[in-house]
Amino acid sequence: MNSIPGGRFVVLDFETTGLSPAMGARVIEVSAREVLDGRAGHEFLTFVDPGVRVPAEITQITGITTAMLSGAPTSAMVMRQLTSFIGSSPVVCHNAGFDRKFYEHEASEFLEGRPVRTLCTLLLARRMFPGRKSYRLGGLIEEMGISSPGRLHRASADTFVTAHLFDRICADARSYCRPEHFDDDVLHRLQRVPAAGARDWLAELGSPDAKSHCKFGSAGAVAQNIGSVN
């Protein structure tokens, strides 16, 4: 993963009982995977006792049952450890708006109002790999030949493939600008640039021949409204 900028990133994934914490959905599994100077680091991985039964449809998607969570630590215990593990590092997720809202909800006591800086591989993929039929995690990794170590929709497998997807995105983005211009701040800005102009925006950061590059993804793109996503 040597295309990822230097420094520390944490790739995060939650499995949950539903789509919205505002509607009572709870976290049931957490993986937070460290990437340090482009190398895989420690993984924080645990089940979470949500205090409610796991719906049948969630078990069908994830394979996680209520019985599997028996004896797991509570959300408060997990979130205390998770916020310590993440610290101030940028958080990388696929569809980061989803994971961020659960993190901010369940860890609010320990975040103490600190902002959570997220990098969204869904938004970044739309900008660097335009014209895909789908930007679902499973579809992207299949198209790019990224192998999962286990079942998707399980937290550890999802953070593993998201880390490798992030590396592919960074490799492509690097080819459009000079190395000295490429860092996590550029990535945070890139995910908010209109998709149709993302490559040109990177080119303006430095690389004189960037506009002629055409790596993974077609040349055409449709501008995306990202305000509601992240």
pLDDT level of residue 206 (50, 70, 90 thresholds): low
In a domain? residue 131? yes
Average pLDDT over residues 158-166: 98
pLDDT of residue 7: 95
User: What is the average pLDDT score of the chain?
Assistant: 90
Structure tokens at 178: 């000079």
In a domain? residue 2? no
Domain count, the chain: 1
CA 223 to CA 194: how far, in whole Å? Answer: 5
**42, 94, 105, 153: which is the annotated catalytic residue?**
153
pLDDT of residue 153: 97
CATH code: domain of residue 192: 3.30.420.10
Average pLDDT over residues 201-220: 54
8 Å CB contact between 121 and 92: yes
Side chain identity at residue 31, one-letter code: S
Give the list of residues 6+ apart from residue 69 with CB closer than 8 angstroms, or none.
28, 47, 48, 49, 50, 54
DSSP class of residue 18? S
State pTM to two decimals.
Answer: 0.88
In a domain? residue 218? no
How many other CB atoms are found less than 10 A from the CB of residue 92? 28
Q: Is the pLDDT of residue 154 over 60?
A: yes
In a domain? residue 76? yes
In a domain? residue 46? yes
Domain encompassing residue 176: 8-211
Q: Is the pLDDT of residue 223 over 50?
A: no
In a domain? residue 221? no
In a domain? residue 119? yes
Question: Percent of the chain at pLDDT above 90?
Answer: 82
Whether 153 is catalytic is yes
Q: What is the DSSP string of 110-173?
A: HHTT----EEEHHHHHHHHSTT-S---HHHHHHHHTPPPSS-TTSHHHHHHHHHHHHHHHHHHH
In a domain? residue 1? no
CA 15 to chain centroid, in Å, comes to 13
pLDDT of residue 199: 93
CA 132 to CA 106: how far, in whole Å? Answer: 34
pLDDT digits (tens, 9 = 90+) for 87-122: 999 999 999 999 999 999 999 999 988 889 999 999
